[in-house]
């Protein structure tokens, strides 16, 4: 039997990918409901050739619709306010925001890593942060083989991670800069065109940003490894789509680069692109629009006895958000 599905934040960068992912993966949708702010009421979005109207998100909007699954991507404050009434109305909420990720009793799920955790849900299942998702997909098979004790990650995050308007701002800044016009800065803290910004989200008391601490805490929760040491530096780069990560790990058991490559090749959700002699490695421009987590530059870390370094790239709007949420809905 098909499902009655809602997308909350349907007009946004992630929401539009959710719509497309449901269609592409042939998710059994019987009826689809789209919600966004009052600004979007009157808009219609296409699903399987039909126009679906966008409705205003309100506490009552789920009532009487018998929604089975609601995919939320309208930001954490909207999730906090509107996920409980959606659950109350009978839906299972798959939430893309940070609102519930670290709550005890709310599973934080990446289907390739901890699908079994979904069984413990009581109405809400959290989708991790996009930078965390692609990293744990890559870490899990290595952890199973050699027990990871420490992770050091630096990210190169695309502007679409900050939403549709941020993507538009980057493009406009490039145009203005090349035309010799003043560059307008609204969505970012500094000019992003021809630049990079080593700050994503606000700083916390320990000198790390919130984005960096999400990577630390969410990784420990998803991998059921509260003692796993993780340090992260997250950086915004003027790439439109797909996040990249340079990852170095320490392991209890030594893995050679060849062993790690063989492990990645067999792991779910991963595609290895690693042929240094031919300059083959993953790059964000080329993986945009695709589902897997791509891994390359796999090598033994020369600074330690038992460690590996690699580069990992994934489309964060898909595997980092919409696809992961739809995969969770498929598991349900
Ligand atoms: P976005 O492009 O700015 O879209 C935001 C969506 O939320 C739009 O549909 C917007 O509707 C809706 N919205 C905003 N304020 C609302 C309100 N007061 N009431 C109802 N709907 C409202 O942002 P995005 O990139 O899609 O990200 C959305 C959320 O997904 C993020 O806040 C984050 O929690 C999560 N996320 C994003 C990414 C990513 O890579 N971008 C990755 C992982 C998770 P209108 O069009 O009507 O304004
Ligand atoms: O900046 C990025 O590349 C990813 C951004 C994610 C994001 C943006 C605004 C609010 C999140 C998230 O998924 O953690 C949130 C949030 O839900 O707190």
- State the pLDDT at residue 189: 96
- State the pLDDT at residue 34: 98
Q: Of 121, 143, 243, 312, which one is the catalytic site residue?
A: 243
pLDDT of 248 above 90: yes
pLDDT of 1 above 90: no
Using CA atoms, how far residue 203 sits from 103, 140, 187, 199, in Å, is 21, 28, 17, 8
pTM of the model: 0.97
253 with 141, same domain?
A: yes
Q: Which residues contact 284 (CB under 8 A, 6 or more apart)?
A: 156, 158, 239, 241, 242, 243, 244, 313
Domain containing residue 240: CATH number: 3.30.360.10
Domain containing residue 57: CATH number: 3.40.50.720
Residues recorded for the chain: 332
254 with 312, same domain?
A: yes
The predicted model gives 276-301 an average pLDDT of: 98
pLDDT in tens, 60-94: 999 999 999 999 999 999 999 999 999 999 999 99
89 with 141, same domain?
A: no
Residue 280's domain comprises 132-316
DSSP one-letter code for 64: T
As beta bridge partners, residue 196 has none
Q: What gap in Å lies between CA 100 and CA 79, rounded to an integer?
A: 8
Q: Which residues contact 188 (CB under 8 A, 6 or more apart)?
A: 159, 162, 166, 169, 197, 236
Give the closest residue to 19 by CA, choosing from 55, 45, 57. Answer: 45
122 with 143, same domain?
A: no
Supply 16's token pair. 């539009």
CA of 161 to the centre of ligand 2 (A): 7
165 with 308, same domain?
A: yes
Percentage of residues in the chain with pLDDT exceeding 70? 100
When divided into structural domains, the chain yields a total of: 2
As beta bridge partners, residue 233 has 154
Q: What gap in Å lies between CA 212 and CA 232, rounded to an integer?
A: 5
Biggest alpha carbon–alpha carbon distance for the chain: 61
Residue to probe by mutation, ligand 2, list 75, 129, 233, 240, most atoms within 8 Å of CB: 129
For ligand 2, atom 3, which residue shows the shortest CA distance? Answer: 161
209 with 146, same domain?
A: yes
pLDDT in tens, 159-199: 999 998 999 999 999 999 999 999 999 999 999 999 999 99
């Amino acid at each position: 039997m098909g499902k009655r599905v809602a997308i909350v934040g349907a007009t946004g960068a992630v929401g539009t990918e959710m719509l497309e992912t449901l269609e592409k993966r042939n998710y059994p949708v019987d009826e689809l409901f789209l919600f966004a702010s009052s600004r979007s009421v009157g808009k219609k979005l296409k699903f399987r050739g039909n126009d679906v109207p966008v409705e205003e998100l309100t506490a009552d909007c789920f009532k009487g619709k018998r929604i089975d699954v609601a995919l939320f991507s309208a930001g954490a404050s909207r999730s906090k306010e509107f996920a409980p009434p959606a659950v109350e109305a009978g839906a299972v909420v798959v939430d893309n925001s940070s609102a519930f990720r670290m709550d005890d009793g709310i599973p934080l799920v990446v289907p390739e890593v901890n699908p079994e955790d979904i069984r413990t849900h009581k109405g809400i299942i959290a989708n991790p942060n996009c930078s965390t998702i692609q990293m744990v997909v890559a870490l899990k098979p290595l952890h199973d083989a050699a027990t990871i004790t420490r992770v050091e990650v630096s990210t190169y995050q695309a502007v679409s991670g900050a939403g549709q308007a941020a993507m538009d701002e980057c493009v406009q800044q490039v145009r203005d800069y090349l035309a010799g016009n003043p560059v307008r800065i609204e969505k970012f803290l500094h000019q992003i065109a021809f630049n990079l910004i080593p700050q994503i989200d606000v700083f916390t008391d320990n000198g790390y940003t919130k984005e960096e601490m999400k990577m630390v805490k969410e990784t420990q929760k998803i991998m059921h490894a509260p003692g796993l040491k993780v340090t992260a530096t997250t950086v915004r780069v003027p790439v439109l789509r797909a996040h990249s990560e340079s990852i170095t790990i320490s392991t209890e058991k030594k893995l050679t680069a060849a062993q790690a490559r063989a492990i990645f090749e067999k792991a779910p959700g991963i595609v290895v692109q690693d042929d240094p002699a031919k300059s083959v490695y993953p790059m964000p421009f080329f993986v945009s629009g695709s589902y897997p987590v791509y891994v390359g530059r796999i090598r033994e870390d020369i600074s330690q006895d038992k460690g590996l370094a690699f580069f990992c790239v994934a489309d964060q709007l898909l595997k980092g958000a919409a696809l992961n949420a739809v995969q969770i809905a498929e598991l349900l």
